[in-house]
Structure 1
Amino acid sequence: MPLRPAAAALGGVMLLAACTTWVRRAEEPSSLLASSQMRELRVTRRGGGQFLLRFPFITGDSLGGTLVHSATESTRITIPLRDVQSLEVRQFSKGRTIALAAALGATVALVVSATRDEPPPPPPPPTSGPTSFSCPLVYSWDGVRWRLDSGTFGGAIMRALQRTDVDNLDYAVPRDGTLRLRVANELAETDHLDALAVLAVDHEAGVSVAPDPAGRLHTIGALAAPVRATDGRGTDALARVRDADGWNWESSLSGRDPARDADVRDGLELAFVRPPGARRAHLVLDGNNTPWSSYLLGSFVAAHGRATQAWYDSLNAEPALARATGMRLAREGFLAASVRTASGWRPQGMFWEAGPEVVKRQVLDLDLTQVEGDTVHLRLESAPAFWLVDRVALDFTADRDLAVHELRPVSARDRAGRDVAPLIAAADDRYYVLEPGDAAELRFRVPEPPAGTSRTLLLRSTGWYRIHTPAVGEPDVATLDAVARAPLGLSRASVVRLNAALARLTERTQ
């Protein structure tokens, strides 16, 4: 199974932390916060003790903000100003920025660069900051600790786009017949969870199970690695996509001209040895979206300005129009797959948005009947900087029989102890609504698998989310019209912003 690092919000926080140094400020807290807007302070108390305070503010004679305890726990606090000994703020470091951009990936660096000068939202803030948008996050209890295991129904950014998503639970381990999950909203959005269930799938030993973008389940046998892989600029990418090792392929960012079609698209071309007589194959992708794609989604919504609510209302009132709008964006931002035939490249489907938090395995069923020769040539294509690809492989075995057991939660309680199980028992438009910082723990009774079989656990969730963007100012009609109507409009808009962020990052490191 793929490695599943929490690579998005965490990666951005890591890069921001490592690209900066803490600098002590002599001003009084009230003067410091009045003169500049900032996302976090390092606070030292009189008498000892130091902590990080996100989205700080002054209220009366106290300093307030969000105190982060862990990846899933945070508290809004206030402390008397008289108890504050010193405050420190972050300052960009040239050397650290260059080193960490290389280590963590260029797209994370660009998000930091693109948002560095933007004002923070008013408190109370989400714990992951205003540039992260995705979907509810699901953690699995592995018997020792909580592990981030899934991001659900990515791309469903309004009620009209509600969808059902299926994802592998790689870290979920039942103990004494009980499986524990935690669903949490840690991002700048409001999540609407309509239904959630665990699928316990029994199958023969030696195979695994993974979903396709429509949620259908497929068995995966022996995986064939590519023998060649190059990106859109002809650079060798084989070592990056041959194994699920966390060493991802991502787009080369520099030197892209938004006026050239070749520069506003990117992806991979791969070659696989085709077994004699093979007419079908499973295309297996271990990958996820970049933080840049999440940032661009938020920028697109924010471009509606004070008309944001009217835009949502109009699309929710016409679901067909909403789906057409979503599909137009999907054709550019999702990862499209094609195989080469005698008559040219033939589309085989698209890998759905996976979110930037964890690596997700998805499967597409390939039709090879029109492929000639003993080599399968495959093309993956999207907008530049939208995808991180860890592994691409083919499985030439047929689907095996599966026994699927749908498990509903036997208990589901939020942090206040409220029973939310009835709200997520079925897709019936009775939603468990999660604001930033909300979470619930779910428990499932899991039967023992039959003797001689193996079991895979998957999550099936249904819902939608609304990302939080400032609904202020006049709509950016030029940008919205270009994205909606111009050929490759989303891709061109992304490259324009990529170039601006690259220029800003270069200025800071000179």
Structure 2
Amino acid sequence: MENFSANIPLNVIRKYSRFISLILIPLFLNLIIIGCSYYKVTQVSNDPVEIRQAQEQLKYFIIHQGDNSWHLKNIRLKEDSKEMVGEIEPLPPEHQSYLKTDPERANRYRVRKEFPLHEVHVYVSEYVKGENSKVTVPLSSIKKIEVYDKDKGATTLSYVFGTIGVIVGAVFIIGLIIGLTGGSSSSPPPRRSPPPNTPSTSSCPFIYTYDGKGYNFIGEMYGGAIYSSLERDDYMLLPGLDTHNGKYQLKIANELLERQYTNLSELMVVEHPENTQVLADKNGQIFTINSALIPTKAESSNHTSYFNAISKKDSSFYLFDEENDINKNLSNLTLTFKKPKTEKNGKLILNGKNSLWLDFIFGKFNEQFGTYYPKFAEKQKNVPANKNLRWSLNQGIPLSVYIETKKGWEFVDYFNVVGPLASRDMVMDIDLSNVEGEEVKLKLECGFMFWEVDYIAMDYSENTLVDVSYLSPETAIDENGNDVSDLLTYSDEKYLVQPEVGNKVVVTYPTIPVEKNKKQTLFLHSKGYYEYIRDYKNKPNLIHLYSFKRKGAFPSFSKQYLYNFVDREVFFIQTLNQGDEN
């Protein structure tokens, strides 16, 4: 994205500037979303635990029967008779606008006029009137309970990534004009698009699996291995990969401005009991999941509960967009799990990915190198991997995991960068030998808005015996029709090199029969690295770059960049308002 506009002829931009402006003005107006935010709807059961949890969070209860609605206050639960009692009163105006909503999507509200946040909507078939305004609601009469919370994902994306969307929109419009008018012979070739709605500036090789009808995007290999010195193994779960003509088939594609070097691409076939799930950690160790338990609490630094966001896979992410009390450039989420008193090990299960913001801001960081970037990247090839990893951890780029012990918070391990385009199921072995009692507390921490997590759980079961087979490629046909399977079969000095946008290879693997009462789970074991292709024209910002050696400098740069263009949005709004007054 950062290179494209630099190659657009200035005369083309000037010639069509009025046309571009007329198109971009609505985009900016849509970006501002003046006075609007979003909320989400989560449906919970009529279990007393759910109702009590909503009470503890000071939720505002609204009871519905047919077309009638009231505020329900002074609520008490009578578990012996399975009833909820309380008092009803008319709804104030600020709670009347969102009595009907769409639970399947983010819902917009006007910040200054309505207040749907923290509402709980209880839909009942019947209730019993008591004295004055008292009512009794049998729990069996509750048809559904809907909890309203702020949709931080939709709200953040609308304000923050809207700016990126406008930039992408501008590039697309100008590119379209060049395409229609002939443009310039110096214009770069058009970039092939990654999966829809992903304005990614950089990533890693894309993996698609074939289902007999077409290819499905699954994820990105060896994320963050941006120099040869950072080459690493990667273990990607391949959900839903099925056979076609008796073979497994997938595609490895370069769809970004990168040079990609894949050393190995083999299938790990794990055969296990039908009622067991398996996951591979970052080192390829297999863990069986038999009884995953969600946390009893999930709180940010300011004690806001995100239990609903991470208790199930529903694309309702915790965005790590609340500041850490100790280091405001970082963000964390503290998790509390019930634990068998004598248990010495647990398996932390997580579904998540990196944010588009991290992808975008890392591009802006690289831009600071300007014309020096190619030389810098070349020098990084000789920097030891552990030094680059230490820098990355000091900047909050991986997702770090801590455990609370008698000595305080202790570092456990980290999850590797996985890219911003697809969530992954991940697992981490947790040593509980220094944790006493029947609770365990973990803390996930990263740079402000660098990760997004959808689901978190813990499993204490013993690992079940499994069989693991490794399948080498039978064929690997590149875009020119050549079979390059020998480049992907072993971890050696031979690489599949994909240096240009549009390079791809279709890989097939044999299948092996599955035993009765067993099932197979497949992982793509890959190894490699990739390099950015950048042609910055600006001078290196050497003084600023030197500051990035400090711990926390990169997330600080990220937050400052974010705040700067939020300030620009505010200025734009004020300018519009002044125009209206005149």
Asked if TM exceeds 0.5, the reply is yes
Local SS of the residue matching 1:487: coil
Contact 2:31 2:158 in 1 (8 A): no
Matches within 5 A, 1:181-260: 181-252=250-321
C-alpha distance in 2 between matches for 1:396 and 1:360: 21
Paired residue for 1:448, among 508, 513, 518? 513
C-alpha distance in 1 between matches for 2:502 and 2:406: 54
Which amino acid in 2 is paired with 1:167?
A: M
After TM superposition, give the deviation of residue 355 of structure 1 in Å. Answer: 0.6
Structure 2: any 5+ residue segments left out of the alignment?
Answer: 2-8, 39-105, 107-152, 176-186, 577-582
Matches within 5 A, 1:428-439: 428-434=492-498, 435-439=500-504
What is the match of residue 110 of structure 1? 160
After TM superposition, give the deviation of residue 312 of structure 1 in Å. Answer: 1.8
Matches within 5 A, 1:310-459: 310-316=375-381, 318-320=382-384, 322-331=385-394, 332-434=396-498, 435-459=500-524
Contact 1:125 1:188 in 2 (8 A): no
Paired residue for 1:155, among 224, 247, 250? 224
C-alpha distance in 2 between matches for 1:295 and 1:206: 41
After TM superposition, give the deviation of residue 377 of structure 1 in Å. Answer: 0.9
Paired residue for 1:93, among 27, 34, 45? 27
> Does 1:291 find its partner at 2:356?
yes
Matches within 5 A, 1:120-159: 122-128=187-193, 131-159=200-228
Local SS of the residue matching 1:262: coil
Q: TM-score, normalised by structure 2?
A: 0.68
RMSD, matched Cα: 3.0
C-alpha distance in 1 between matches for 2:245 and 2:517: 20
Which amino acid in 2 is paired with 1:96?
A: N
After TM superposition, give the deviation of residue 313 of structure 1 in Å. Answer: 2.0
C-alpha distance in 1 between matches for 2:523 and 2:419: 17
C-alpha distance in 2 between matches for 1:426 and 1:101: 51
> Does 1:301 find its partner at 2:366?
yes
Return closer, same or farther for 1:93/1:299 CA change in 2, 3 Å cut-off: closer
After TM superposition, give the deviation of residue 33 of structure 1 in Å. Answer: 4.6
After TM superposition, give the deviation of residue 505 of structure 1 in Å. Answer: 4.1
> Does 1:173 find its partner at 2:173?
no
1:406-446 deviation per Cα after TM superposition (whole angstroms, max 9, x unaligned): 11111111222122212222222322222212222111111
Which amino acid in 1 is paired with 2:392?
A: L
Contact 1:156 1:162 in 2 (8 A): yes
Contact 2:203 2:220 in 1 (8 A): yes
After TM superposition, give the deviation of residue 144 of structure 1 in Å. Answer: 3.4
C-alpha distance in 2 between matches for 1:448 and 1:508: 63
1:361-418 deviation per Cα after TM superposition (whole angstroms, max 9, x unaligned): 1111111111121111111000010011001110101222221111111111122212
C-alpha distance in 2 between matches for 1:298 and 1:203: 42
Query: Which 10-residue stretch deviates more, 494-503 or 177-186?
Result: 494-503
C-alpha distance in 1 between matches for 2:159 and 2:472: 41
What is the match of residue 564 of structure 2? 500
Contact 2:477 2:483 in 1 (8 A): yes
Paired residue for 1:464, among 529, 547, 554? 529
C-alpha distance in 2 between matches for 1:505 and 1:420: 50
C-alpha distance in 2 between matches for 1:406 and 1:177: 17
C-alpha distance in 1 between matches for 2:436 and 2:508: 51
Contact 2:209 2:250 in 1 (8 A): yes
Contact 2:27 2:166 in 1 (8 A): no
Contact 1:125 1:436 in 2 (8 A): no
Return closer, same or farther for 1:37/1:384 CA change in 2, 3 Å cut-off: farther
Local SS of the residue matching 1:263: coil
Which amino acid in 1 is paired with 2:446?
A: S
What is the match of residue 49 of structure 1? none
Contact 1:479 1:493 in 2 (8 A): no
1:220-279 deviation per Cα after TM superposition (whole angstroms, max 9, x unaligned): 2211001111113322100000111111111336xx79xx85321102011111123111
Paired residue for 1:476, among 513, 525, 541? 541
C-alpha distance in 1 between matches for 2:389 and 2:166: 29
Local SS of the residue matching 1:240: helix
Contact 2:310 2:317 in 1 (8 A): yes
Return closer, same or farther for 1:375/1:338 CA change in 2, 3 Å cut-off: same
Which amino acid in 2 is paired with 1:379?
A: K
C-alpha distance in 1 between matches for 2:24 and 2:210: 34
Structure 1: any 5+ residue segments left out of the alignment?
Answer: 1-8, 10-28, 42-86
1:163-207 deviation per Cα after TM superposition (whole angstroms, max 9, x unaligned): 110010013111342111011112232211121111111112211
C-alpha distance in 1 between matches for 2:528 and 2:453: 26
C-alpha distance in 1 between matches for 2:229 and 2:267: 24
Query: Which 10-residue stretch deviates more, 449-458 or 473-482?
Result: 473-482
C-alpha distance in 2 between matches for 1:343 and 1:232: 20
C-alpha distance in 2 between matches for 1:407 and 1:210: 18
1:296-328 deviation per Cα after TM superposition (whole angstroms, max 9, x unaligned): 222222222221122122221x241x5302331
C-alpha distance in 2 between matches for 1:199 and 1:222: 23
C-alpha distance in 2 between matches for 1:341 and 1:269: 14
C-alpha distance in 1 between matches for 2:489 and 2:158: 37
Query: Which 10-residue stretch deviates more, 96-105 or 265-274?
Result: 96-105
Contact 2:330 2:555 in 1 (8 A): yes
Count, aligned residues: 430
Which amino acid in 2 is paired with 1:487?
A: K
What is the match of residue 273 of structure 1? 338
C-alpha distance in 1 between matches for 2:17 and 2:216: 33
Which amino acid in 1 is paired with 2:466?
A: L
What is the match of residue 489 of structure 1? 553
Return closer, same or farther for 1:476/1:128 CA change in 2, 3 Å cut-off: farther
Percent identity over paired residues: 24
Return closer, same or farther for 1:37/1:232 CA change in 2, 3 Å cut-off: farther
Contact 1:287 1:391 in 2 (8 A): yes
Contact 1:161 1:319 in 2 (8 A): no
C-alpha distance in 2 between matches for 1:482 and 1:351: 26
Which amino acid in 1 is paired with 2:163?
A: S
What is the match of residue 64 of structure 1? none
